[in-house]
């Protein structure tokens, strides 16, 4: 095997002595050969199984010249939008065009089209009408069946239909891609590859489809939000490889989409083998003069420990994509990778992260699920930890200790999400203590998301008292260790179920905490999450109860402003929100008030700035903004 980047040009292909490639792999991302990138994993996995793969990164879409760089591939085209959804990559939740793309050279935006998977597939069809097209990645995986599309505010068809692709691989894809490759290599027509787990295909009839559940038809779900919610809940309950059944969605009398059950999660030895493959661990040299690829910076010296998540946050697509069963790498595998990176010439002594979707999940949530599957009718941690939950941080703790002892290592950080309710449930506090002592860079990012139990219930997050208990414990440990380290809570505004009263309650909580977040994330309705289903249908699909959903830009702006009520730019929105929420008691001069009445020299009722903001040097800018806003108000009064 040649130890170099995979071919991206015909000249690269010829240098390897190839006349053709087996698979041409088109990606919306620049080419980064690192195991944090799906294209790198799938292409190297195919290579390890004897297949020739050429990479076509970020092809132009105004003509077909880039698509044909390798000529006609022997077995087919693989297509992905990249590591993240192309629409999320391009647009903020306010549907405004983003200014940067971390997966493109120099962070330049516009290197891929909107809905990249569809555009690339249609380009292929213009030139190669009979070559199999297999799509995957997060964009394809979350659009495998009919789905609500936030950007067009419509329920769209399965991406298989709009892309004209032959087959869709959902989930992580290692098992299914090899099975598909072997089937194509043996001469099986792509139309007959209908039996592989983790795949979705289209068919004209159901004569050869067995043991399936019929979902509400596309016609039904676009005409009834109740039907949409019912359909989504069936899909949501069929993400486990043990218990899931085949699902069928009808579009026309001769048009069906069939979703096979998910692939079985990788065993530890299999996952080790994936990360033991040869990777260049960097972006392709052609991007050097263009400023490199920003996305590599955080992951280059990070270590992936696990996959999957049993946290069950309703706004997260992980359940739908990776599933709830935890898959882990062995200590030997992770240490072997670490021993490679610590001798890199640019390594400064800091391992940036050791984790995955949730860092402190290093084993399945319970022993039962490996044999009997994941429970369909309840979550592992919500509304409180299940009695069968295995709570144990000892394996993760031992892994971190081993990494700390490696030569050249100054610090091992944990920056993946920590599930604080799971952490608190562990009676053995050694991990919590060592996390605070050794693995935090001055601040720990956690995700309470909200403090209103009404909203937290819709999010699938624990009661606010659990977070408060965590904060106290964290502060106590820091005090004991004589450390000054902070918590940075991620907060979300405008999630389904959050009305103005809930938003005001969050503002009051932040007032008492003496903290104003610098950034606030509005809920982003991305495809195939339970929260997105709530957003579109205004129903809780678990109970079919009606729920309030903030949708208007003005309502969302008020909720966001309340979280940052100290910012003078938000004064009018905060004032309006407090009036509408019948909370005029929070407008005044008392310590409990959020803002002062209109016309006063200082809008905020808290003259001392947040310590966190002072440390970041924001106090001067906030003061300037206040003075500027006050001047503008006085000018308007004179007019």
Q: What is the DSSP string of 136-196?
A: EHHHHHTTSS-EEETTTTEEEPPHHHHH--SEEE-SS-HHHHHHHHHHHHTT--GGG----
From CA 604, how far away is CA 58, in angstroms rounded?
Answer: 48
Q: Is residue 607 very low, low, confident or very high in pLDDT (cuts 50, 70, 90)?
A: very low
Query: Can you tell me which residue has the tokens 């200014």?
Result: 99
- What's the Cα-to-Cα distance from 426 to each of 394, 451, 472, rounded to whole Å? 10, 23, 16
Helix (H) or strand (E) holding 626: helix 619-638
pLDDT confidence of residue 441: 86
Q: Is residue 516 very low, low, confident or very high in pLDDT (cuts 50, 70, 90)?
A: confident
pLDDT confidence of residue 520: 86
Q: Is residue 369 very low, low, confident or very high in pLDDT (cuts 50, 70, 90)?
A: confident
Q: What is the pTM of this model?
A: 0.91
Phi-psi region of 517 (alpha: psi -120 to 50; beta: other; left: phi over 0): beta
Model confidence at 103: pLDDT above 90? yes
Domain 443-639: which CATH number of 1.20.1050.10, 3.10.20.30, 3.40.309.10, 3.30.750.200: 3.30.750.200
Of 537, 534, 547, 550, give the one whose Cα is nearest residue 224: 537
Percent above pLDDT 90 for the chain: 88
From CA 566, how far away is CA 485, in angstroms rounded?
Answer: 23
pLDDT confidence of residue 212: 97
> Other C-beta atoms within 10 Å of 361: how many?
28
List the domain boundaries for the chain.
10-202+254-259, 301-441, 443-639
> Other C-beta atoms within 10 Å of 79: how many?
29
Mean pLDDT of 268-296: 97
pLDDT confidence of residue 491: 95
Comparing 57-61, 253-257, 367-371, which segment has the lowest mean pLDDT? 367-371
| Token pair listed for 631 | 């001047």
Q: Are 226 and 236 in contact (CB under 8 A)?
A: no
Mean pLDDT of 481-487: 94
pLDDT confidence of residue 608: 37
| Token pair listed for 131 | 């070559």
Comparing 14-28, 211-225, 250-264, 589-603, which segment has the lowest mean pLDDT? 589-603
pLDDT confidence of residue 48: 97
Q: Is residue 601 very low, low, confident or very high in pLDDT (cuts 50, 70, 90)?
A: low
Model confidence at 525: pLDDT above 80? yes
Strands annotated E in 450-589: 486-493, 521-522, 539-540, 545-546
Model confidence at 582: pLDDT above 90? yes
From CA 514, how far away is CA 501, in angstroms rounded?
Answer: 20
- What's the Cα-to-Cα distance from 466 to each of 271, 422, 487, 524, 557, rounded to whole Å? 34, 10, 15, 25, 28
pLDDT confidence of residue 638: 40
CATH topology assigned to domain 301-441: Transcription Regulator spoIIAA (3.30.750)
Do 443-639 and 301-441 have the same topology in CATH?
yes
Per-residue pLDDT tens digits for 68-90:
999 999 999 999 999 999 999 99
Percent above pLDDT 70 for the chain: 94
Q: Is residue 414 very low, low, confident or very high in pLDDT (cuts 50, 70, 90)?
A: very high
pLDDT confidence of residue 235: 96
> Which residues partner with 32 through β-bridges?
283
pLDDT, the chain, mean: 92
Model confidence at 605: pLDDT above 90? no
| Token pair listed for 98 | 């983003």
- What's the Cα-to-Cα distance from 548 to each of 71, 229, 455, 530, rounded to whole Å? 53, 15, 10, 15
Better-predicted residue by pLDDT, 329 or 515: 329
Better-predicted residue by pLDDT, 23 or 634: 23
Label residues 89-119 b or e (16+ Cβ within 10 Å = b).
bbbebeeeeeeebbbbbebeeebbbebbbbb
Q: Is residue 613 very low, low, confident or very high in pLDDT (cuts 50, 70, 90)?
A: very low
Per-residue pLDDT tens digits for 162-196:
999 999 999 999 999 999 999 999 999 999 999 99
Model confidence at 344: pLDDT above 80? yes
Query: Can you tell me which residue has the tokens 């980064």?
Result: 32
> Which residues partner with 149 through β-bridges?
154
Model confidence at 134: pLDDT above 60? yes
Model confidence at 614: pLDDT above 60? no
Model confidence at 635: pLDDT above 90? no
Describe the strand order of the beta sheet including 443-449 as a list of residue ranges.
443-449, 486-493, 521-522
Label residues 607-628 b or e (16+ Cβ within 10 Å = b).
eebbebbeeeebeeebeeebee
* Domain 10-202+254-259, CATH homologous superfamily name and number: Response regulator (3.40.50.2300)
pLDDT confidence of residue 626: 39
């Amino acid at each position: 095997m040649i130890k170099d980047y995979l071919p991206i040009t015909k000249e690269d292909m010829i240098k390897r002595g190839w006349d053709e490639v087996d698979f041409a792999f088109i990606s919306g991302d620049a080419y980064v050969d690192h195991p944090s990138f799906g294209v790198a994993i799938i292409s190297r996995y195919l290579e390890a199984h004897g297949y020739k793969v050429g990479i076509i990164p970020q092809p132009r879409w105004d003509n077909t010249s880039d698509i044909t760089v390798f000529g006609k591939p022997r077995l087919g085209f693989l297509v992905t939008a990249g590591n993240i959804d192309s629409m999320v990559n391009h647009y903020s939740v306010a549907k405004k065009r983003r200014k940067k793309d971390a997966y493109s050279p120099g962070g330049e935006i516009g290197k891929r089209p909107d809905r990249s998977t569809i555009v690339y597939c249609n380009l292929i069809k213009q030139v190669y009408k009979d070559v199999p097209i297999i799509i995957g990645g997060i964009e394809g995986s979350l659009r495998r069946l009919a789905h609500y599309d936030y950007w067009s505010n419509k329920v769209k068809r399965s991406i298989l239909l709009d892309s004209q692709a032959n087959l869709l691989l959902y989930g992580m894809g290692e098992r299914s891609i090899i099975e598909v490759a072997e089937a194509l290599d043996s001469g099986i027509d792509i139309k007959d590859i209908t039996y592989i787990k983790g795949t979705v295909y289209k068919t004209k009839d159901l004569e050869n489809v067995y043991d399936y559940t019929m979902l509400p038809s596309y016609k039904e779900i676009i005409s009834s939000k109740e039907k949409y919610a019912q359909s989504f809940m069936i899909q949501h309950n069929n993400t486990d490889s043990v218990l899931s059944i085949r699902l069928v969605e009808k579009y026309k009398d001769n048009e069906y989409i069939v979703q096979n059950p998910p692939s079985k999660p990788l065993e530890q030895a299999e996952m080790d083998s994936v990360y033991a493959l040869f990777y260049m661990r960097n972006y392709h040299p052609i991007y050097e003069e263009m400023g490199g690829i920003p996305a590599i910076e955080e992951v280059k010296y990070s270590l992936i420990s696990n996959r999957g998540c049993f946290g069950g946050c309703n706004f997260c697509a992980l359940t739908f994509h990776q599933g709830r069963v935890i898959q882990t790498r062995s200590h030997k595998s992770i240490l072997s990778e670490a021993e490679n990176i610590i001798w890199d010439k640019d390594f400064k002594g800091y391992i940036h992260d050791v984790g995955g979707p949730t860092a402190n999940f290093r084993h399945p949530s319970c022993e039962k699920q490996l044999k009997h599957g994941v429970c369909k009718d309840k979550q592992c941690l919500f509304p409180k930890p299940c009695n069968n939950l295995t709570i144990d941080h000892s394996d993760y703790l031992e892994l971190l200790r081993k990494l700390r002892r490696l030569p050249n290592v100054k610090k091992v950080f944990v920056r993946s999400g920590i599930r604080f309710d799971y952490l608190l449930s562990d009676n053995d506090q050694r991990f919590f203590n060592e996390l605070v002592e050794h693995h935090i860079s001055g601040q720990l990012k956690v995700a309470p998301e909200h403090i209103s139990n009404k909203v937290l219930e819709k999010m699938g997050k624990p009661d606010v008292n659990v977070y408060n208990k965590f904060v106290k414990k964290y502060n106590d440990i820091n005090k004991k260790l004589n450390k000054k380290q902070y918590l940075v809570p991620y907060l979300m505004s405008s999630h389904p179920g959050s009305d103005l009263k809930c938003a005001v309650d969050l503002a009051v909580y932040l007032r008492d905490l003496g903290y104003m977040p610098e950034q606030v994330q509005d809920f982003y309705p991305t495809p195939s999450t339970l929260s997105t289903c709530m957003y579109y249908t205004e129903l809780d699909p678990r109970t079919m109860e009606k729920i309030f959903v903030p949708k208007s830009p003005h309502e969302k702006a008020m909720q966001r402003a309340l979280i940052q009520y100290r910012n003078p730019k938000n004064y009018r929105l905060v004032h309006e929100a407090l009036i509408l929420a019948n909370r005029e008691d929070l407008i005044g001069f008392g310590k409990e008030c959020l803002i002062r009445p209109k016309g006063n020299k200082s809008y905020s009722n808290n003259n001392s700035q947040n310590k966190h903001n002072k440390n970041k040097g924001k106090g001067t800018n906030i003061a300037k903004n206040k003075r500027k806003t006050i001047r503008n108000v006085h000018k308007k009064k004179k007019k």
